[in-house]
A and B are shown apart, each in its own frame.
Chain A
Amino acid sequence: MKGKVSERLNRLLLMVPFLASREGVSVTELCKEFGITEEVLMQDLETLRLCGVPDYTPDALMDYIVEGGRVRMLMADYFNRPLNLTGEEALSLFVAGSALIRSGVFQKEGALDSALSKIEMLLSEEKKVELEDVASRIDVEMRAYEGTLREIIDEGLEKGRNLQLDYYTFSRDEMTHREVEPLSLICSQGFWYLLAWCRSCEDYRLFRLDRISSVKLTDHPVEDRIRESFDVPRAVGEYSPGRKAHNVKLRFAGRRGRRIVEEWPAAQLTENPDGSVLVELRTRNLAWLATYLLRFGDGVKIEGPKELKKMVEQKASELLEAYK
C-alpha cells in the first residue's frame, strides 16, 4: 500500500531539486506547490537537514536557510535533478488527459496526445503495459464540450476579455443579461460551467453552459485585480446558502429520498420506521426546487416552508392545465 512514507519521500526528493535550481522560493509558494501547510514544510526542511551522504559530517549534510521569507537549499548535488515520474503520477496525467480528450476539450492526436506519448516513453516496457492496462480501466465521464458557444467562451478565456451572456438563472427561474469576466471552465456532476466574475452581482458565479442562450465577446479586458485574486476552490466554495436561506423539509418514499441525498451532499437525511425518509436542506432560492420536485409525483410530500408549497402548487396546476 502506498502510504504516508512514500508520499512524503517523493515530496522531499522533489523539493530538494526544486529548491536547488532556484535562487530561493518563498514559503508561501512552496506550501502551495507541494500542497502542504507551513508547519509540515518546516518539518520537511528539518528532516532534510539531517540527511546527506557518508560520513554524515556537517559538510556532507543538506542544509537550508530562510532569508526574508525565502527558502534556499545548500548542498545536495546528487539531488540536483528531479527523480523520474512514479507510476501513480503518470497514471494521474493519463486519467485526466483521456477525460479531457474524450469530452472534446482536446482533440484526438493533438498536442495533448503527443505530450502524453512522450511521457509514456519515460517508462520501462513493463511499466508502459501496466499503465495502459490500468488507464483503460478508469474513466471520468464529462459531457461533450463543444458547439459554437464554446469557441466564443474559449476566446474570452484565452484573450482575457469580458463576455456578455444571456443566461437562464435556474435557481430563480429567470432569463438574465449580464457582462462577466471569464476565469475558468469547471466540470461538476458531468456538466460544464463557466466560472466568472459577474459585474452586476459583484461576485463569482458559475454559469452552466447549457443554460447560456447566447454569448458575445466584448473588447473589455478582464480586470487584473480579479484575475490575480482568483482562486478556484475559494470561488467555487463561496456558494454557501447564507443566512437568508430557507430551511426546506421534504418527505420521500425511501429509495428516491436516498438518491436525493446522494445528489446533494449538504442535505440531511433521517430515516423513518415506515420506510420514508425526511430530507432537510437549505437553499436561498425556492424556484428551482419547486420545478425540480414536480417529477416526483406522489413520491414526495413537502413539509415546509409554506412558500415552497405555494410555488409547487402553482406550477403543478398551471402545467396540469396545459396538459388538459
Chain B
Amino acid sequence: MNPPHDDPPTASVDKIERLINLTACLLETRKPLTFDQLKQTVYRGQSRSEKALKRMFERDKEELRDMDIEVDTVKNEYEEEPGYMIPRRKYYLPHLDFEPDERVALTMVSRLFLGSGTPFSMPAHLAVLKLAFAKQDVDEEVLHVHWVESPRDGKLLGDILDALLRRKTVTFSYRALASDEPVTREVEPYGLFNKMGAWYFIGLCRLREDVRCFKLDRIIEDVHVNEKNPRTADFEVPTGFDIHTAIDWERPRSCSPQTKAKVVFTPRLAFAASTGGAPAGLQKRRADGSLEVTYQVADPEEFVDWVLGFGTDARIASPAALKEMARVRLQGVLNGLGAR
C-alpha cells in the first residue's frame, strides 16, 4: 500500500469531483459508511466546520437524488450514527433483452430530436447509449427520422419543461397576438405541446383565472421559475387533465355550422387536393383533366387561405360566400399594389 499523499487530491476538489468520489465510494463499499468515515475520505481536507461539512454532505445527497441516484440511509442497532451506501441493484442499469426490431425502434426514437436543441435531444440519445451499451452497436439499417424544429430559444423551453416537471409557477411578460402591450403573467404550467413546429404551454393563468395557452415565441425574453422551496410543488395538476383534450379546446371553433365547398384543381396540382385545408369528400375528374373536390369546411377564413395557397392552380367553385371572400382578398392585394 502506498503512503498517503501529503496533499491529498481531495483538498482542492471541486464539486463534480467530490460527487463522483462520493458515488464511487458509496457504490464500492460492502457495508454502509458513517458520516465520520466519509469525513476521513471523501470530505478529507475540506477546511470547514463539522456542521458545514454535514450540510455539504446533505446537499451532495440531494444533488445525486436529482440525478436519480439513490443514497440509502442504513440504521444499525449497534451504532449510533446511521450508515450510507448506494445499493448496486438500484445504481446500475439492469440488463434488458431487446429484440432486434425493438432496438431499431429505440434508436429511431432517440435520433428523432437529435441536434434539435430541444431539452429532449441529449437525454434521449444518452438513454440509448446506456441501453445499447451491452451490445455495442445497433444495426446500421435504421430508418433515419428527424425532427428539425429548433426552438428559437432552447433555454426558454428548458426552463418551462423544468417548471412543469417540478410543478413550479412561472412568471413572464407575454404579448398576446391580439394586443400591443405585453402583460405580466403568472402561470401554473400543466402541459407542453408543439403544433406545426411552434411550442406552446398550457396552464392556469392567475391573471385571467382560467386555463390558457401561451406560445413561447410571444414570451418577451425569459421566464422566471419560482425558486421558493425548490423541492416542493407549488400546485397540483387537476385530475383528469389531458393534453390532447386540452389542445382540442384551443382549435378554432367553427363559428358557423359546417359548409360544403367545391374546389377545382388544375391537373398539375390535382394530386395535392387531399393534403389539408379540410376533410375532402367526393372527387370528380372533369373532361379537361381538372379535378373537382368537395370539402366540409369548418373555418372559412382558414380554408380560403389554404385554397389561395395553390395560386392559380385552384379555384373555389361554390358556395358564393366563399368565392366572394377569395375575390375580396385578391382585389385587396391588387389595391395595395397601387398605393405605396
Which residue of B has the minimal Cβ distance to A143? B276
Whether A316 pairs with B330 at a CB distance below 8 angstroms is yes
Q: How long is the Cα–Cα vector from A183 to B146 in the complex, in angstroms?
A: 11
Name the A residues within 8 Å of B113 (CB-CB).
92, 96
A168 touches B269 (CB 8 A): yes
Task: For the complex, give the distance between the alpha carbons of A184 and B4 in Å.
Answer: 57
Q: Are A78 and B27 in contact (CB under 8 A)?
A: yes
Pick from B15, B123, B271, B330: contact of A91, CB under 8 Å = B123
Q: Assuming A86-B68, A115-B98, is B63 touching A298 (CB within 8 A)?
A: no
B162 within 8 A of A: yes
**CB-nearest residue of chain A to B215:** A262
Assembled-state Cα–Cα distance A286/B104 (Å): 42
A90→B21 contact, CB < 8 A: no
| Complex alpha-carbon distance, A309 and B63, angstroms | 60
CB-defined contacts of B42 to chain A, threshold 8 Å: 54
Let me know if A52 is at the binding interface, CB within 8 A: yes
**Chain B nearest Cβ from A272, distance in angstroms:** 12
Interface string of A73-105 (1 = CB under 8 A from B): 000101101111111111111011101100001
Does A201 make an interface contact (CB < 8 A)? no
Closest B residue to A292 using CB positions = B309
Q: Are B120 and A319 in contact (CB under 8 A)?
A: no
Known A55-B41, A139-B194, A319-B311: A87·B24 in contact at CB below 8 Å? no
Minimum Cβ distance to chain B for residue A123 (Å): 9
Residues from chain A with Cβ under 8 Å of B241 in the complex: 137
Q: List the B side residues contacting A6 at CB < 8 Å.
A: 63, 66-67
Residues of A with C-beta under 8 A to B122: 35
A70 part of interface (Cβ distance < 8 Å): no
Q: Is the CB of B16 within 8 A of A12?
A: yes
A105 to chain B, nearest CB (A): 6
Do B41 and A211 have beta carbons less than 8 Å apart?
Answer: no
Question: Which residue from A51, A119, A168, A292 sits with its C-beta under 8 Å from B272?
Answer: A168
B287 interface residue, CB < 8 Å from A? Answer: no
When the two chains form their complex, are residues B309 and A14 in contact, meaning their CB atoms are under 8 A apart?
Answer: no
- Chain A interface bracket (under 10, 10 to 19, 20 to 34, 35 or more): 35 or more
Mark A103-136 against chain B: 1 for CB-CB distance below 8 A, else 0: 0011000111011001100100001000001101
Taking a contact as CB atoms under 8 Å apart, the answer to whether A89 and B112 are in contact is: no
Residue A57 interfacial (CB < 8 Å)? yes
* Option from A50, A52, A119, A158 in Cβ contact (under 8 Å) with B141: A158
| A195 cross-chain contacts in B, Cβ below 8 A | 144, 146
Asked if residues B93 and A58 are in contact (CB atoms below 8 Å), the reply is no
Q: Which residue of B lies closest to A159 (CB)?
A: B141
**Are A93 and B177 touching (Cβ within 8 A)?**
no
Question: Is A71 interfacial (CB-CB < 8 Å)?
Answer: no
In the complex, what distance in Å separates the CA atom of A312 from the CA atom of B23? Answer: 66
Q: Does A177 contact B (CB under 8 A)?
A: no
- With the chains together, A127 CA to B65 CA distance in Å? 13
Instruction: Name B13's closest neighbour in chain A (CB-CB).
Output: A50
- Is the Cβ of B145 less than 8 Å from the Cβ of A92? no
Contact with A along B175-191 (1 / 0, CB 8 A): 00110100000000011
Question: Is the pair A112, B315 in contact by a Cβ cutoff of 8 Å?
Answer: no
| B91 interface hit (Cβ, 8 Å) | yes
Kindly list chain B residues whose C-beta atoms are within 8 Å of the C-beta of A105: 108, 145
Minimum distance in angstroms from A63 CB to a CB of chain B: 12
> When the two chains form their complex, are residues B310 and A291 in contact, meaning their CB atoms are under 8 A apart?
yes
Is B282 engaged at the interface, CB distance under 8 Å to the other chain? no
Contacting residue for A294 out of B145, B180, B242, B329, CB 8 A: B329
B271 with A299: CB separation less than 8 A: no
B10 and chain A: residue at smallest CB distance? A56
Q: Decide yes or no: A83 and B102 within 8 Å by CB, A53-B25, A298-B332, A318-B312 being known contacts.
A: no
User: Do A136 and B93 touch (CB < 8 A)?
Assistant: no
| In the bound complex, CA of A21 to CA of B310 (Å) | 56
Q: Which A-chain residue is minimally distant from B108 (CB atoms)?
A: A100
Contacts of B91 in A (CB 8 A): 83-84
For A56, give its contact among B8, B92, B102 (CB under 8 Å). Answer: B8
A223 to chain B, nearest CB (A): 16
CB distance from A271 to the nearest CB of B (A): 9
B308 near A295: Cβ-Cβ < 8 Å: yes
Docked-complex contact A86 and B67, CB < 8 angstroms: yes
Which of A106, A158, A236 makes the CB contact (< 8 A) with B105? A106
Chain A proximity mask over B301-340: 1 for CB below 8 Å, otherwise 0: 0001100111110011000000100111111111111011
Closest to A106 in B: B105
**Told that A78-B27, A100-B108 touch, could you supply 8 new A-B pairs with CB distance under 8 A?**
A14-B126, A84-B91, A86-B67, A86-B68, A105-B145, A133-B237, A315-B311, A319-B311
Query: What would be 27 A-B contacts, judged by CB atoms less than 8 Å apart?
Result: A5-B63, A6-B66, A53-B21, A53-B24, A54-B25, A79-B27, A82-B129, A85-B68, A91-B165, A92-B113, A96-B124, A100-B109, A111-B105, A115-B106, A119-B131, A133-B237, A137-B191, A139-B191, A140-B193, A185-B146, A187-B149, A188-B149, A189-B197, A291-B311, A297-B332, A301-B340, A312-B333
- Going nearest first, the 4 A-B pairs with the smallest beta carbon separation are A298-B332, A189-B197, A297-B332, A184-B144
